[in-house]
Amino acid sequence: MRYLEIGIGMAIAILMFLAIQGIDLLPILFIVGLAAAFLYVNSKRTGNKSFVIVSKGMAEEQLISFDDIGGQDMAKGELCEALEFIKDVERIKTLGIRPLKGILLNGPPGTGKTLLAKAAAHFTGSAFLAASGSEFVEMYVGVGAQRVRQLFKQARDVAKRNDKASAVIFIDEIEVLGGKRGQNAGHMEYDQTLNELLVQMDGMSENDAIRILVIGATNRIDILDSALLRPGRFDRQVKVDLPDKKGRMRILQLHTRNKPLADDVSLADVANDTFGFSGAHLESVANEAAILAFRESSGTITAQHLRSAVEKVIMGEKLDRIPNTDERNRIAVHETGHALLSEYTSPGSVASVNVVARGNALGYVRQTQQDDIYLYTVDYIKSKIAVAVAGAIAEEMFLGTRSTGAANDFKQAADMAKEIVFGGMSELGIVSPDDVPKELLHNTITGIFKQIESQVKAILTDHQTAFTQIIDTLLAKEFISGDEFRVLLNGNEQAA
């Protein structure tokens, strides 16, 4: 600091001397200002960076335990087993076990990877530091590597200050930091940053005063560098997948435990209606339902609030767009076609039918299923294709023409037809996706569509009376629940 003061004093003296000599100081001051600005910005970029820390001083209610996370029993079991190596050091030494250095959490967004990492820190009584992969990559060479070194140093320092024997480092979006090397030929900063992470993990030892566990999270494991995934670095890969029905039920219970629910609320029904939802989606459903109750000045959250919240999370808020009479009629025909085929191919699958614009949709049918399905047969996929194309076929049968509203339906149907072909379930048998000629693929998919279209037309013709009554009810009410839809459909069938 003393040398800095002397340097500043000498610079001022030189400037005063030059001013006395009649020399114009403006160019000199301009150059000095630019240099100072550059040094300041560079120091900010390359200087110390603090990462998010969960330390001993946090309030108890802010701590997250594994009991606060629902729907990930298998992931929690794998993680807890790995964490026992940090907790029970003496026992693992007697068995000659090398403590795990890294655990990689892999799964879709919103499934609870960050929560699992925080719970891991709480479970082991460790200091917790969180960072994102994007925080390590800068345009200046060497900055990312410096920040990796600093992160590991900061983890040890935080653990020492809080009298902890271990620390958990959580790196979210690790694919930004750990992508395959050589992909950025014109910018070696990415590779240097990854190299430093590899070096730091190699330097971790069971004899360290502070034991460190690195937990990474990604939904793009396919682009990670193989050197990062090998044993001795990330020893375990834990799949954090979308919750099943039981898991969704547990997540809903967690997120509604501080909310007043009405007597008509069945969380089991909500869990059944939310197939494919992540934990983040379910938290949003509970929160949106509470907001709807607040808007209506209701003291409790009702089943209707939860149903509306599910639809809002899926499709977005209702829009002010009001189609004209002809368009509303076409939308009702289109959505009734979807719903009728859905109910025919999978009884009880229609949760609601709507002709109210939400998000990018002018109308929609919300479907659900009784059981989670993980393997799809050719009949199941064909039934889904039938539901997808039923809207356009209904328009053609009852209105004479199709519309552009079926464009997304056709794209989904084409993708499912390709699943049949590439899954070896078509007339072509087992094929390689890369070797099938385009013309042959096109002809096979067209054949699948023609067969399904004829079946859909026959089903719609057989239910024409019910179809017409459902359209009239839908235009009058704009919304039909699944139970109402089944009453209209089955009532007309019994009358016939």
Instruction: Identify the pLDDT of residue 138.
Output: 60
Of 202, 148, 200, which Cα lies nearest the Cα of 171? 148
Tell me the mean pLDDT in the region 397-416: 91
Pick the CATH number of 52-239 from 3.40.50.300, 3.30.110.30, 3.10.180.10, 3.60.20.10: 3.40.50.300
Q: Is the pLDDT of residue 2 over 60?
A: no
According to the model, what pLDDT value does residue 232 have? 82
Say which DSSP state 139 is in: S
* pLDDT tens sequence across 338-362: 999 999 999 988 988 988 877 677 8
C-alpha to C-alpha distances, 99 to 85, 87, 231, 235, 484, nearest whole angstrom: 6, 10, 11, 10, 58
Which residues are known to be catalytic?
335
Query: What are the residue ranges spanned by the domains of the chain?
Result: 2-46, 52-239, 248-315, 325-495
Single pTM value for the model: 0.70
Please name the residues in contact with 2: beta carbons below 8 A apart, sequence gap of 6 or more: none
The least confident of 3-17, 67-81, 128-142, 361-375 is 3-17
Amino acid at 462: D
Lowest mean pLDDT segment, chosen from 52-66, 342-356, 399-413 = 52-66
- pLDDT of residue 3 exceeding 80, the answer is no
**Does residue 244 contact residue 35 with C-beta atoms inside 8 Å?**
no
Using the predicted structure, report yes or no on whether residue 61 has a pLDDT greater than 60. no
Tens of pLDDT, residues 71-116: 788 888 878 877 777 777 777 777 777 778 888 999 888 888 888 8
In the chain, helix, strand, coil percent, each to 5?
A: 60, 10, 30
* Structure confidence at residue 50 as a pLDDT band (50, 70, 90): very low
3-state secondary structure of 53: strand
Can you spell out the DSSP letters for 13-29? HHHHHHHHTT---HHHH
CATH of the domain spanning 248-315, picked from 3.40.1190.10, 1.10.290.10, 3.40.50.720, 1.10.8.60: 1.10.8.60
Q: What's the number of CA atoms in the CB half-sphere (13 Å) around residue 403? A: 17
Q: Shortest CA distance to 340 belongs to which of 402, 391, 412?
A: 391
- pLDDT value at 411 more than 90: yes
Helices (H), 230-278: 245-256, 267-273
Q: For domain 325-495, is the CATH number 1.10.10.10?
A: no
User: Could you tell me which residues come within 8 angstroms of residue 184 by beta carbon, excluding any fewer than 6 positions away?
Assistant: 190, 191
Strand partners, 261: 301
By DSSP bridging, strand 127-132 and strand 166-172 are parallel
From CA 347, how far away is CA 485, in angstroms rounded? 11
Q: Calculate the average pLDDT of the chain.
A: 81
- For residue 496, the tally of other CB atoms under 10 A from its CB is 10
Q: How far apart are CA 51 and CA 56, in angstroms?
A: 16
Q: What is the pLDDT of residues 454-489, one digit of tens each?
A: 999 999 999 999 999 999 999 888 888 888 999 998
Question: Which pLDDT band, with edges at 50, 70 and 90, does 45 fall under?
Answer: very low
pLDDT on residue 131? 84
Q: Which residue has the tokens 């430093």?
A: 196
Alpha helices in 162-224 (DSSP H): 174-178, 189-202
From the CB of residue 300, how many other CB atoms can be counted at a distance below 10 Å?
A: 13
Q: Which residue shows structure tokens 């396919």?
A: 222
DSSP per-residue letters across 308-374: HHHHHHHH-SB-S----HHHHHHHHHHHHHHHHHHHHHSTT-EEEEE-S-BTTBSSEEEE--SS---
CA-based nearest residue to 126, from 149, 98, 103, 97: 103
Torsion-angle region of 229 (φ positive above 0: left; ψ -120 to 50: alpha; else: beta) = alpha
Of 27-31, 59-63, 277-281, minimum mean pLDDT range: 59-63
Distances (CA, A) of 207 to 210, 212, 429: 8, 11, 57
Top-confidence residue, 28 or 354: 354
Amino acid at 496: A
